[in-house]
Amino acid sequence: MGDSNGLAFIFGALLAAGIAYFFLGSNGKTSSPTILATTGPVLHPSEYRKFKLTKKVVLSPNTARYRFELPTPESTLGLPIGRHIQVMVPVNGSPVARSYTPTSTDNDRGYFELVVKTYESGAVSSYLHRMQVGDEVSVRGPRGTFQYKPNMVRALGMVAGGTGITPMYQIIQHILANPEDKTRVSVVFANVSEEDILLREQLELWAADHDQFDIHYVLNNPPAEWTGGVGFVSKEIIQEHLPAPADDVKVLLCGPPPMVKAMGALLGDLGYEAPRVISKPDDQVFKF
């Protein structure tokens, strides 16, 4: 019995060594990103791992939802709520990386999704736009410092601009999927035109189905029949649609840098704690 156990141990060790050699090479270094995990969380904080595009849904002329396959149907990305990932792609022979927040969560097994707006000058977003099903990107994470925890505050205010809705969407989805999380969520979502409003259908379904969630849209160029906010997000809009400053209130900001800077100043004038240049998780006003 002891001899058979010893042989099994030796065989297992040799097998593990062979697998390590296969993935790492004889010099112990990876020559290219690769997925090592096959079940459970697959993200690695420093090592880029490859994921295959399996589905692409066009949401608007310049925005699409990209679904990437995880190693097994039961695998999870392993991304804490509120964190983001770094996506690396080759551009003119050199690696270029950008940060994105998946709109999926670890409740979604076997895949993760990104909603990305393509910018003419955006190296990574343009690469994603050109991707075909079967193509791969390299990803690492988690990145960032903020992590949402159920009932961490009584009320959560959010101001998002354009694709800045994606980290908010991830958090909202997590809150509303948990019956034990009683956090009140209020969102001000600013865009240039009505066609630019990302994820609108799902956001409005949530607002209709959940009393603890509401959303207010603001457009720079609204259509004639528009009944939402017009122009830029103002002090009056914040006062009307976000929770008032209190110890059990937090406000999250994400969007174009000029907008985030302006919102931070407005919130400071209204009595919220002035945001830092680089936000920390415990700040009352946190900038993604």
Give the Cα separation of 173 and 97 in Å (integer): 26
d(CA 224, CA 219): 12
Q: DSSP assignment, residue 218?
A: E
DSSP run (H or E) holding 8: helix 2-24
The whole-number pLDDT of residue 10 equals 39
Nearest alpha carbon to residue 189 among 224, 210, 214? 214
Catalytic residue among 76, 101, 105, 183: 101
pTM of the model: 0.82
Strand, helix or coil for residue 250? strand
The catalytically annotated residue of 84, 129, 174, 241 is: 84
Mean pLDDT by 10 residues, the chain (288 residues): 43 40 37 44 93 94 94 94 96 95 93 94 94 97 95 98 95 96 98 94 97 98 95 96 98 96 96 94 96
118 is catalytic: no
Q: How confident is the model at residue 165, as a pLDDT?
A: 96
Whole-number pLDDT of residue 8: 42
Would you call 254 a catalytic residue per the annotation? yes
Q: Which residue among the candidates 48, 100, 148, 169 is catalytic per the annotation?
A: 100
For residue 214, the surrounding DSSP H or E stretch is strand 213-219
pLDDT of residue 60: 82
Scored b (16 or more CB within 10 A) or e, 242-276 reads: bbeeeeebbbbbbbeeebbebbbebbeeeebeebe
- Concerning whether 44 is annotated as a catalytic residue, the answer is no
Classify 12 as helix, strand or coil: helix
129 is catalytic: no
Single-letter residue type at 118: T
Residue 206: its pLDDT value, please? Answer: 98
